[in-house]
């Protein structure tokens, strides 16, 4: 098998095939990724922890041993809220500087068992929350890469690593993907085991993936769900798409509106059945509802840190904890009930369509890195526990990437990946860095 691109630009699935065929070694691939990191990390600052010698030692062990699984010898990045037994897990907080767990998070352990090389830990906002680190957008270092999976989005977009783990409580996988011009996948809530992740809000937290290719998401999904490694395929019947502007449409910038309109037009021209999809009035409360759940559950998750290390918690997260502590249990349970009612209502509404198209984010990545962007366009779907994916859908007026979001019903993850494959092939929405 020939290799017609720089090694650091290989996708996860392509690299795995090349290594399995003997056309590529893990050491050569990891060396190329480390070279890209050395060249770009001073600007990007995507990694919270990286040890080149340790990464190369893992790669050499893969090359010297028998194939271990679907990811044999391929490097991945791990968001620094996921535990790793051989690297620090600092969660973007000075409270845990130098922390060394004795275990891997479940998703990391499963990837490692399948042969993956853990290249390093990627920068996260503090406790996967609101206070960003120093990571910049690979398309424009004066802009945010999004958060809280900041390092994962930037590192994948900049070809430092083919795939990285993220987590999403509001919009922490899809927003970085949209801002950085790559693909972000948040599966149905609970699909990937969360053992070994520091909870932000336990009724919302979902482990997700950021990659440049859909095949790569499908491959890692197979590893984490113990299922067959089936690449995304075209839907077998005419795709039924609901266009859902959501109750947040007034917040969508022209670039985001145009991206959605382009994708809808291309889908219609390619033969999809397209119709308007309007969420019932109670859904308009979901942004506030998610904030209630987020604040209460963050306050409970951070009880130890709040008691013993309050001075080391950022002002933004302090405000969230204070709001959570001031929320009554009745308010919290009312929010839980509304969220569940909306989930059940949406299950029924999906009888008329296969997938939805909606904005991924407000628009292009905002200027500056102190603010990681508005999570509302992603957060409502996170609360609804449905699988979602952000696909690159062109650029805005400042030349920055803009995405479009596709949503499927709960447990329709396979359908979502297939529909995304169809949209990319038919609409040509897939753009990457050069």
Note the pLDDT tens digit of each residue in 298-346.
999 999 999 999 999 999 999 999 999 999 999 999 999 999 999 999 9
Q: CA–CA separation, 356 vs 178, rounded Å?
A: 17
Q: Which residues pair with 357 in a beta bridge?
A: 243, 406
The residue assigned the tokens 């369509």 is: 353
Q: Which residues pair with 186 in a beta bridge?
A: 388
Q: pLDDT tens across 22-70, in order?
A: 999 999 999 999 999 999 999 999 999 999 999 999 999 999 999 999 9
Altogether, the residues listed in the chain come to a count of 434
- Quick one: pLDDT at residue 428? 61
Beta carbons within 8 Å of 372's beta carbon, 6+ residues apart: 125, 130, 132, 144, 145, 146, 147, 148, 150, 175
pLDDT level of residue 431 (50, 70, 90 thresholds): very low
Reply yes or no on whether the pLDDT at 432 is more than 60.
Answer: no
* Domain ranges, ordered by start, for the chain: 7-280+344-434, 285-333
Q: pLDDT tens across 93-141, in order?
A: 999 999 999 999 999 999 999 999 999 999 999 999 999 999 999 999 9
Q: CA–CA separation, 114 vs 220, rounded Å?
A: 10
Active site residues: 79, 148, 172
The pTM (predicted TM-score) of the whole model is 0.98
- Provide the 8-state DSSP code for 169: S
- Quick one: pLDDT at residue 365? 98
Helices (H), 210-302: 214-225, 254-269, 286-301
- Quick one: pLDDT at residue 231? 86
Return the CATH number of the domain spanning residue range 7-280+344-434.
Answer: 3.90.1300.10
Q: pLDDT tens across 341-368, in order?
A: 999 999 999 999 999 999 999 999 999 9
Percent of the chain whose predicted confidence (pLDDT) is above 90: 95
Mean residue pLDDT of the chain comes to 96
């Amino acid at each position: 098998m020939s290799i017609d691109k720089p090694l650091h630009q290989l996708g996860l699935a392509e690299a795995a095939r090349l290594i399995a065929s003997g056309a590529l070694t893990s050491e050569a691939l990891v060396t190329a990724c480390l070279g890209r990191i050395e060249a770009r990390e001073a600007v990007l600052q995507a990694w919270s922890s990286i040890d080149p010698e340790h990464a190369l030692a893992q790669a050499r062990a893969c090359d010297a041993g028998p194939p271990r699984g679907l990811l044999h010898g391929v490097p991945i990045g791990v968001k620094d809220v996921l535990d790793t037994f051989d690297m620090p897990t600092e969660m973007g907080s000075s409270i845990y500087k130098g922390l060394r767990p004795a275990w891997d998070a479940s998703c990391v352990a499963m990837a490692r068992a399948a042969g993956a090389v853990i290249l390093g830990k990627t920068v996260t906002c503090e406790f996967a929350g609101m206070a960003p680190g120093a990571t910049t957008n690979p398309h424009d270092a004066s802009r945010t890469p999004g958060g809280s999976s900041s390092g994962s989005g930037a590192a994948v977009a900049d070809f430092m690593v083919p795939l990285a783990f993220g987590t999403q409580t509001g919009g922490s996988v899809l927003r970085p993907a949209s801002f950085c011009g790559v693909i972000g996948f948040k599966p149905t809530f609970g699909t990937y085991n969360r053992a070994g992740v520091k909870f932000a809000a336990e009724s919302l937290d979902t482990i997700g993936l950021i990659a440049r290719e859909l095949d790569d998401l499908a491959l890692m999904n197979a590893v984490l769900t113990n299922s067959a490694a089936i690449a995304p395929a075209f839907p077998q019947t005419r795709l039924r798409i609901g266009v859902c502007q959501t109750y947040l449409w007034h917040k969508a910038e022209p670039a985001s509106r145009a991206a959605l309109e382009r994708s809808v037009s291309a889908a219609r021209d390619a033969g999809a059945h397209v119709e308007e999809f309007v969420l019932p009035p109670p859904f308009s409360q979901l942004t506030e509802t998610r904030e209630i759940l987020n604040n209460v559950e963050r306050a409970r998750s951070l009880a130890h840190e709040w008691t013993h290390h309050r001075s080391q918690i950022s002002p933004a997260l302090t405000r969230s904890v204070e709001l959570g502590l001031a929320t009554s249990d009745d308010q919290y349970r009312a929010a839980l009930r509304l969220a569940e009612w909306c989930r059940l209502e949406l299950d029924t509404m999906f009888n008329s369509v296969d997938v939805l198209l909606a904005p991924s984010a407000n628009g292009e990545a905002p200027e500056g890195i102190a603010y990681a962007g508005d999570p509302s366009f992603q957060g409502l779907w996170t609360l609804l526990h449905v699988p979602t994916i952000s696909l690159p859908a062109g650029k805005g007026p400042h030349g920055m990437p803009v995405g479009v979001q596709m949503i499927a019903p709960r447990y329709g993850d396979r359908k979502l990946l297939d529909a995304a494959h169809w949209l990319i092939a038919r609409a040509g929405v897939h753009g990457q860095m050069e």
